[in-house]
Structure 1
């Protein structure tokens, strides 16, 4: 897969002038606790960026309480935005924000793309790459819990039409992790694609033992089984289950190090800092022979819509855009899952609008 972002389109984006910049924060309560080896929370912190370009407003959302994967928290993002200037080109504002917060820079970048696609009257994916598929398949997520919890959640998700599951593993009891996966498989059936994500919680010995047990259950990927490259390489060399890196990759330089160490990578806008950087990362990963998955940290509908549009524009048929499904009270609407997939919103830009008034702070 080569770059989809035409140079002219990128140049027009970076030289577009920002006339107004503001931001707000909101808590998004979850119906089910987000719980894995590196996080446990009952709510998501949303930081929403709003900009105006030639009279058209664009908005975007990033998640603040995912420091385990981004290295930043909500205060870091807000602090960077509070020091930003209100006006200037998108490129100037993005470069300035990037020096303080990759997430703040991403929020501005996505809000600018939203504004420009809205001005053109096109969904963002179409604005970026022309005619696109109308939906993308996603997965259902099973967090930490009991064996019974895993069985019940797998049953509900697959009965609702999902054909892919990701199960959080990496707890202190490897046998419990394996039992939870076995329970999910027992109700999901053999046709369902099951992956596991350890979020770097295991050492190589435990990861290899777990992978061998998980292989017998038809697990297709183990994501970030260890935190270090040496451990990832050892798990891959054992060959029981294909290995995907997530937390171990943030930019193109990381991807070059991962070639031959893992089988695939999980790339995210939040780790890239812009759509252009994600586009380049996809191309770089494929250049070194890595299978590429695109996803996001659990977010509200506005944040997930950005990943959905970008993944579709990049030509992916599957992506992890499940994160909004457990948000019990969102600030934005429209985006919903139907069966195994999430349809692309038909409206201009991200196609997702705010439902709730926010307390905006304006840049200088």
Structure 2
């Protein structure tokens, strides 16, 4: 009986030893499988990061606005890393601005100020990422509404200047482990680069716009008469050439001259004569239709171009202007003959009167002379 008990004890010991060996073997295999899975996960993340960086480089090379670039990059990040939310916020002089996000529009305002919240502020100031996670939804504005349980915020710095933040969020806990943080840090630098390039682009656009405005002002000044502000004679010839070259419709011109202008200059001086020219130019300009143009032809003569206007309509407008000048009280006009300052006008039209610029001007000038000869203060259109 004792021998049987010894045999049973020995067999039991052997069984225990075998069980221990088997358990040890299983633990080793499980550990190995976990290591393989871990390595596979990291390799997958590395592969995804490389792929994302390649896609980002393609986007950076596209000639699209920087805002669109950030939106496309953000979409790639959400899809590649399979996360619930990604938001890119830029710090500007006017405050934080969302440049890209998939957070519902009614909750976006709560995201804007998260870099100043108790959870994230210290990390933002010290320029290191802040990762928070939990079994329940996180306790910061809008997290509860979206059931956010993992959040990783990167401050965006460029040359020691805080430029905003990048917030990644997920509805699962423990989404952003240390490996993910490392990979995402690489991508974060490219996001900062896009924001910086956007600054350069905006500055360039602003400078270009300022230059265009300045060029337009210079061009405008080059086309204007320095005294009266009306368009000058050179620009008149340019516009008339354009009209005759590209328009087969009726176009009319009116040449007008101040009656007894020499008398006005002689009695009141050339400075008052110049003031009169400026006042008359403004008065005529205020009387023109939107598409009409006033030119100073020389001395006291002005030309009006009536585009797409038949002669009878041009004569009607010229009559209205003549009457307005006659009714206006100019300084020292009582010293003029008849105690009034007036104008005479000659009108000609194309193609009725002429089909060539120079001949049209000659006909209008002949009719102006006729108006002068017939007693002045009148419009002649035929």
TM-score bin, normalised by smaller chain: under 0.3
Larger Rg: 2
Relative contact order, higher structure (CA 8 A, sep 6+) = 1
- Bigger helix fraction: 2
- Bigger strand fraction: 1
Q: TM-score, normalised by structure 1?
A: 0.17
Q: TM-score, normalised by structure 2?
A: 0.17
